[in-house]
């Protein structure tokens, strides 16, 4: 197997637990958030989600998320038929609790990231990514 | 203790009283019909650093008419703030007398009558005179070009931007950023950039595959004993608003966090002044500098706004220098101990009949035009109507272009892009081939003909309207509304996407547009690769030739509300 640079990034940052389960099992965004947080209150701060305001290509939108001290980060695309994008888990040896990937967005929607901290607390960040048919560049 | 912000504001108020910002004094002089080059260039030197800003020249080498917008609607927090103030309200806001030269230069009111009194504006030979005069007073002045320089005329199209490169090199640019430059394609951009004697900056231009920085983000200049960082910001929505297949290697975006990193980096290197040379557009820049700290001066471009005084946002001053060579901004700054302590600014209007052409630049422009002169100056027809484009909604040039597209391509509906470039013609002016190129020139000008459903038409109008009227500037692309022919609609700009457009109908019959029905649609400037059709300028030329004389009826097909 040829290890590409992008694969190496994945390996470097953490392990990838789940990616796109089948549609038959699709759960709603709210269900996934409830499951990930285990019912605890969801706070803000301590998590940075970086995504373009307008996607250059809705089929491959670069998204990155960082939450120092997190043990797990879940990424959701709330407007996709299957909102689950990925859940990253970080072991004690992880130098940085950060992940970057590219996702497909069916239409304009919110991308949501949740981080679970070592003490079990949950923080959330979200960004609206617009998927447009293109405009007129003044 | 006076804070830095108070100092800035005090400084601006003082400069206005003294007429240091230019417009106060000039107004009185102009009222006496005493415009002279010396008065236009008059400036009491201030501080130790001078910046000269030009932007969005759109390859206009010769003096032009350019009517400022009648519609420039602000939404969200921008509502009622410059540049979203037009006409008489703009004159009132800046204390400009109706009928004065600055009323002519900065607003659309009485454009035809005032144009005949005050003449064309711009011309790169006049701009050269202004730049040389500033440099004579301030030899260390930095000349910064905000981009949209290589595109917009027949000669720039035929020389692939080389005429403008030669002119800007002679002008002595110190750094530039970019937008339409990219529509010449990666290969041509790379070729020109390698030849430039100055940096082509873009902190937000990334390699599309690796999402890593691809161009120089900033340059540090040592001038007059100070170290000045100039950070470039290219147009963020290149691959969305223009054809990404022409520059597939690159990704853009606002990348606010990247801008903050660059500011922190140059501050860490101990520069005295941080300047951002931006092609974001006015509202995007206003938001960006409210969220990125440490920028002293942002020189904004893209949205073609000319604002006679700096807009102060926190500790940053925002300078908007218009388009098409109509204005040159001079910004003098007092920079001491690594801080900007005050400023004086003048938006210098380039009245082509008042400012003498620089002979050296005039000779170069003539030489650039000489090989094409016969093609450029051939008269195709005459206009009895004022022909202009700029404004949030349809201008008369757009009406003429849409008529040409419908008639020559036999379509029910025409669509024409709401670009903000395109010069003006006065009633009675001949229409030359060059004039037609000034409103159509581009590297993807094929005039397509296709079928679209009513649903698709609505989607397109909603999508473009949201690019203009989304209340969050970061979701605005900086173009105006798409222009249409044969189609009427109502737009409520205060509504969200999907709810702004209503009452779609065919103007010929008044028949409502049926979402499920197909209509023949022709248009130009498609961002899709492989678009087929004749070039738009040939389509317009054929139409104007048949008409001989252009006379346009008032267009009432777009009904605007919610402003």
Q: What is the residue whose two structure tokens read 């008269």? A: B379
Chain A residues close to B474, C-beta within 8 Å? 53
Residues B389 and B357 in one domain: no
Terminal C-alpha separation, chain B: 42
User: Given pLDDT bands bounded at 50, 70 and 90, which one contains residue B18?
Assistant: very low
Contact B466 A132 (CB under 8 A): yes
- Judge whether residue A12 has pLDDT over 70: no
- Judge whether residue B327 has pLDDT over 70: yes
- What is each CA distance from A61 to A75, B97, B234, in whole angstroms? 13, 50, 20
Alpha-helical (H) ranges within B99-174 are 101-106, 111-118, 124-137, 154-158, 162-171
How does strand A70-77 pair with strand A84-89? antiparallel
Q: How much is the mean pLDDT over chain B?
A: 93
Greater pLDDT, B104 or B338: B104
Alpha-helical (H) ranges within B410-480 are 433-438, 454-469
DSSP conformational letter for B172 = T
Give the per-residue pLDDT at A7: 44
- Each residue of A100-112: pLDDT tens digit? 999 999 899 999 9
Contact A138 B302 (CB under 8 A): yes
How does strand A122-129 pair with strand A109-117? antiparallel
Residues B229 and B344 in one domain: yes
User: Given pLDDT bands bounded at 50, 70 and 90, which one contains residue B34?
Assistant: low
Q: To probe the interface with A, which of B249, B253, B391, B444 has the most A CB atoms within 10 Å?
A: B253
Contact A138 B281 (CB under 8 A): yes
User: Given pLDDT bands bounded at 50, 70 and 90, which one contains residue B2?
Assistant: very low
Contact A136 B477 (CB under 8 A): yes
A56, A128, A132: residue with CB nearest B463 = A132
CATH number at residue B302: 3.60.21.10
- For A49, the token pair is 């989600």
Residues B165 and B236 in one domain: yes
User: Given pLDDT bands bounded at 50, 70 and 90, which one contains residue A39?
Assistant: confident
B240, B257, B421: residue with CB nearest A50 = B257
Chain B residues close to A138, C-beta within 8 Å? 241, 281, 302-304, 418-421, 477-480
DSSP conformational letter for B36 = -
- For B302, the token pair is 């893209």
Q: Which of B535, B527, B398, B540 is nearest to B463 (CA)?
A: B527
B391 CB burial (10 A radius; 0-12, 13-18, 19+): buried
Chain A residues close to B283, C-beta within 8 Å? none
Give the torsion sign (CA, B246, B250, B251, B257).
negative
Residues B348 and B212 in one domain: yes
- Each residue of B250-306: pLDDT tens digit? 999 999 999 999 999 999 999 999 999 999 999 999 999 999 999 999 999 999 999
User: Given pLDDT bands bounded at 50, 70 and 90, which one contains residue A8?
Assistant: very low
A100, A133, A137: residue with CB nearest B237 = A137
CA distance A58 to chain B (A): 11
Contact B474 A53 (CB under 8 A): yes
- For B394, the token pair is 């349809």
Work out the average pLDDT over B384-410: 97
CA distance B319 to chain A (A): 19
Enclosing H/E stretch for B346: strand B339-349
Work out the average pLDDT over B227-233: 98
CA B413/CA B425 separation, integer angstroms: 25
Greater pLDDT, A10 or B308: B308
Torsion (CA) B89, B553, B67, B26 in degrees, nearest 10: -60
Give the per-residue pLDDT at B317: 97
Give the per-residue pLDDT at B56: 98
A100, A128, A134: residue with CB nearest B240 = A134
User: Given pLDDT bands bounded at 50, 70 and 90, which one contains residue A27?
Assistant: confident
Q: Which residues contact A93 (CB under 8 A, 6 or more apart)?
A: none
Q: Which of B281, B184, B227, B344 is nearest to B476 (CA)?
A: B281
Chain A residues close to B420, C-beta within 8 Å? 138
CA B214/CA B220 separation, integer angstroms: 18
User: Given pLDDT bands bounded at 50, 70 and 90, which one contains residue A18?
Assistant: very low
Give the per-residue pLDDT at B338: 87
Work out the average pLDDT over B401-419: 97
Q: How many CA atoms lie within 13 A of B310 on its CB side?
A: 32
Contact A53 B235 (CB under 8 A): no
- Each residue of B267-278: pLDDT tens digit? 999 999 999 999
- Judge whether residue B12 has pLDDT over 60: no
Neighbours of B159 (CB within 10 A): 18
Q: Is residue B446 within 8 Å of B535, Cβ to Cβ?
A: yes
Domain end, chosen from B366, B389, B407, is at B366
3-state helix, strand, coil in chain A (%, to 5): 15, 40, 45
- For B548, the token pair is 């001989």
Work out the average pLDDT over B192-200: 98
Work out the average pLDDT over B362-386: 98
B388 φ/ψ angles, rounded to the nearest 5 degrees: -145, 165
- Judge whether residue A26 has pLDDT over 90: no
CA B486/CA B413 separation, integer angstroms: 5
Chain A residues close to B525, C-beta within 8 Å? 136
Give the per-residue pLDDT at B48: 96
A62, A133, A138: residue with CB nearest B479 = A138
Buried b (16+ CB within 10 A) or exposed e, B403-422: bbbbbbbebbbbbbbbbbbb
- Judge whether residue A68 has pLDDT over 90: yes
Chain B residues close to A62, C-beta within 8 Å? 211, 251
Q: Give me the count of residues in chain A.
A: 138
CA distance A24 to chain B (A): 30
Residue B412 within a domain: yes
Residues B227 and B270 in one domain: yes
Which of A1-10, B181-190, B519-528, B549-558 shows the lowest per-residue confidence on average (mean pLDDT)?
A1-10
Residue B113 within a domain: no
Residue B103 within a domain: no
CA B539/CA B266 separation, integer angstroms: 50
Q: Is residue B438 within 8 Å of B152, Cβ to Cβ?
A: yes
Residue B411 within a domain: yes
- Judge whether residue B21 has pLDDT over 90: no
CA B337/CA A70 separation, integer angstroms: 42
CA B119/CA B87 separation, integer angstroms: 19
Residues B406 and B360 in one domain: no
Q: Is residue A84 within 8 Å of A32, Cβ to Cβ?
A: yes
User: Given pLDDT bands bounded at 50, 70 and 90, which one contains residue B35?
Assistant: confident
CA distance A6 to chain B (A): 8
Partner residues linked to A61 by β-bridges:
A103
- Each residue of B129-156: pLDDT tens digit? 999 999 999 999 999 999 999 999 999 9
Residues B386 and B523 in one domain: yes
CA B106/CA B108 separation, integer angstroms: 7
Q: Which residues contact B168 (CB under 8 A, 6 or more apart)?
A: B145, B149, B176
Residue B91 within a domain: no
| Bond from prior residue into B83 cis (ω within 30 degrees of 0) | yes
- Judge whether residue B548 has pLDDT over 80: yes
A57, A62, A132: residue with CB nearest B211 = A62
Q: To probe the interface with A, which of B287, B421, B467 has the most A CB atoms within 10 Å?
A: B467
Q: What is the number of domains present in chain B?
A: 2
3 state DSSP class of A97: coil
A52, A134, A138: residue with CB nearest B303 = A138
Give the torsion sign (CA, B234, B235, B237, B238).
negative
- For B22, the token pair is 């230019």
Contact B467 A136 (CB under 8 A): yes
Q: Chain B residue with minimal CA distance to A58?
A: B240
B235, B241, B497: residue with CB nearest A136 = B241
CA B504/CA B478 separation, integer angstroms: 24
Residue B84 within a domain: no
B interface with A, Cβ–Cβ below 8 Å: 179-180, 208, 210-211, 235, 237-242, 244, 251-254, 257, 281, 302-304, 417-421, 459-460, 463-464, 466-468, 472, 474-475, 477-480, 482, 497, 525, 527
Q: What is the residue whose two structure tokens read 């040039």? A: B397
Give the per-residue pLDDT at B6: 40
Residues B435 and B546 in one domain: yes
- Each residue of A90-136: pLDDT tens digit? 999 999 999 999 999 989 999 999 999 999 999 999 999 999 876 55
Enclosing H/E stretch for B415: strand B413-416
Q: Give me the count of residues in chain B.
A: 563
Work out the average pLDDT over B495-521: 97
- Judge whether residue A22 has pLDDT over 70: no
CA B436/CA B428 separation, integer angstroms: 15
Domain end, chosen from B366, B389, B405, is at B366
Hey, what domains does chain A have and what are their CATH numbers?
Answer: 27-131 (2.60.40.2470)
Enclosing H/E stretch for B221: strand B218-223
Give the per-residue pLDDT at A123: 97
Residues B329 and B417 in one domain: no
Chain B residues close to A133, C-beta within 8 Å? 459-460, 463
Between A and B, how many CB-CB pairs are < 8 A?
87
DSSP conformational letter for B441 = -
Residue B81 within a domain: no
Q: Is residue B521 within 8 Å of B451, Cβ to Cβ?
A: yes
Q: What is the residue whose two structure tokens read 């005329």? A: B153
CA B461/CA B513 separation, integer angstroms: 13
Chain A residues close to B304, C-beta within 8 Å? 138
Give the torsion sign (CA, B278, B282, B288, B293).
positive
Lay out the sheet containing B518-523: strands in order across: B448-453, B518-523, B413-416, B483-485
Contact B304 A5 (CB under 8 A): no
Work out the average pLDDT over B496-504: 97
CA distance B498 to chain A (A): 12
How does strand B413-416 pair with strand B518-523? parallel
CA B515/CA B411 separation, integer angstroms: 18
ipTM over 0.95: no
Chain B residues close to A56, C-beta within 8 Å? 208, 239-240, 244, 251-253
Domain end, chosen from B325, B343, B366, is at B366
- Each residue of B46-99: pLDDT tens digit? 999 999 999 999 999 999 999 999 999 999 999 999 999 999 999 999 999 999
Residues B444 and B501 in one domain: yes
Give the per-residue pLDDT at A136: 53
CATH number at residue B522: 3.90.780.10
CA distance A35 to chain B (A): 31
Residues B360 and B383 in one domain: no
Residues B165 and B252 in one domain: yes
Domain that includes residue B269, residue range: 4-20+48-64+123-366
Q: Which residues contact B288 (CB under 8 A, 6 or more apart)?
A: B254, B256, B259, B278, B280, B298
Give the per-residue pLDDT at B544: 98
């Amino acid at each position: 197997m040829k290890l590409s640079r992008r694969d190496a990034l994945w390996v470097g940052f953490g392990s990838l637990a789940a990616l796109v389960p089948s549609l038959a099992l699709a759960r709603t965004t709210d269900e996934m958030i409830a499951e990930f947080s285990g019912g605890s209150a969801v706070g803000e701060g301590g998590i940075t989600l970086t995504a373009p305001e307008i996607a250059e290509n809705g089929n491959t939108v670069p998204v990155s998320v960082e939450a120092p001290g997190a043990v797990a980060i879940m990424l959701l695309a709330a407007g996709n038929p299957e909102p689950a994008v990925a859940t990253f888990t970080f072991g004690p040896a992880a130098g940085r609790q950060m992940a970057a990937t590219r996702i497909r967005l069916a239409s304009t929607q919110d991308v949501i990231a949740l981080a679970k901290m070592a003490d079990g607390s949950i923080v959330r960040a979200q960004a609206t990514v617009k998927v447009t048919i293109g405009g007129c560049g003044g | 203790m006076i804070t830095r912000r108070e100092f800035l504001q005090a400084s601006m108020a003082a400069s206005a009283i003294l007429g240091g910002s230019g417009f106060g004094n000039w107004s009185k002089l102009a009222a006496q019909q005493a415009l002279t080059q010396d008065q236009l260039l008059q400036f009491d030197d201030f501080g130790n650093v001078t910046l000269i800003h030009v932007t969005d020249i759109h390859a206009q080498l010769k003096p032009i008419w350019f009517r400022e917008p009648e519609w420039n609607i602000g939404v969200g927090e921008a509502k009622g703030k410059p540049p979203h103030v037009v006409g008489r309200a703009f004159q009132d806001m800046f204390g400009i007398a109706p009928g004065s030269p600055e009323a002519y230069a900065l607003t659309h009111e009485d454009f035809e009558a005032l144009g005949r009194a005050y003449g064309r504006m711009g011309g790169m030979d006049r701009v050269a005179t202004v730049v040389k005069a500033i440099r004579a007073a301030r030899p260390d002045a930095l000349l910064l070009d905000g981009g949209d320089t290589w595109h917009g005329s027949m000669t720039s199209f035929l020389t692939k931007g080389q005429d403008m490169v030669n002119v800007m090199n002679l002008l002595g640019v110190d750094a530039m950023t970019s937008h339409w430059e990219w529509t010449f394609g990666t290969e041509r951009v790379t070729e020109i950039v390698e030849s430039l004697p100055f940096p082509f900056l873009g902190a937000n231009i990334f390699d599309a595959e690796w999402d890593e920085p691809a161009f120089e983000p900033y340059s540090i200049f040592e001038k007059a004993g100070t170290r000045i960082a100039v950070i470039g910001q290219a147009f963020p929505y290149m691959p969305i608003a223009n054809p990404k297949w022409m520059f597939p290697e690159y990704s853009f975006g606002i990348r606010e966090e990247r801008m903050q990193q660059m500011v922190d980096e140059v501050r860490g290197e101990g520069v005295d002044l941080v300047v951002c040379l931006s092609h974001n557009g006015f509202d995007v820049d206003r938001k960006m500098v409210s969220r990125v700290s440490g920028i002293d001066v942002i020189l904004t471009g893209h949205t073609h706004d000319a604002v006679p005084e700096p807009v102060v946002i926190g500790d940053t001053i925002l300078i908007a220098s218009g388009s098409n060579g109509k204005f040159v901004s001079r910004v003098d700054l007092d920079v001491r101990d690594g801080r900007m302590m005050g400023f004086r600014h003048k938006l210098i209007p380039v009245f082509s009949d008042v400012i003498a052409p620089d002979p050296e630049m005039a000779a170069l422009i003539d030489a650039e035009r000489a090989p094409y002169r016969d093609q450029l100056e051939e008269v195709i027809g005459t206009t009895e109507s004022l022909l202009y484009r700029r404004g949030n909604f349809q201008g008369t040039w757009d009406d003429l272009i849409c008529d040409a597209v419908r008639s020559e391509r036999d379509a029910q509906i025409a669509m024409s892009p709401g670009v903000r470039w395109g010069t003006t013609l006065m009633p009675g002016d001949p229409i030359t081939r060059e004039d037609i190129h000034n409103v159509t020139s581009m590297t993807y000008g094929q005039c397509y003909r296709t079928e679209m459903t009513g649903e698709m038409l609505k989607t397109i109008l909603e999508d473009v309207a949201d690019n203009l009227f989304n209340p969050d500037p970061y979701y605005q692309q900086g173009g105006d509304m798409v222009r249409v022919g044969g189609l009427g609609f109502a737009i409520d700009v205060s509504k969200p996407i999907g709810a702004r457009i209503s009452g779609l109908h065919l103007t010929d019959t008044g028949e409502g547009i049926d979402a499920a029905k197909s209509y023949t649609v022709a248009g130009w400037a498609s961002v899709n690769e492989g678009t087929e059709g004749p070039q738009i300028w040939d389509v317009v030329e054929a139409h104007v030739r048949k008409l001989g004389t252009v006379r346009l009826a008032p267009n009432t097909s777009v009904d605007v509300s919610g402003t």
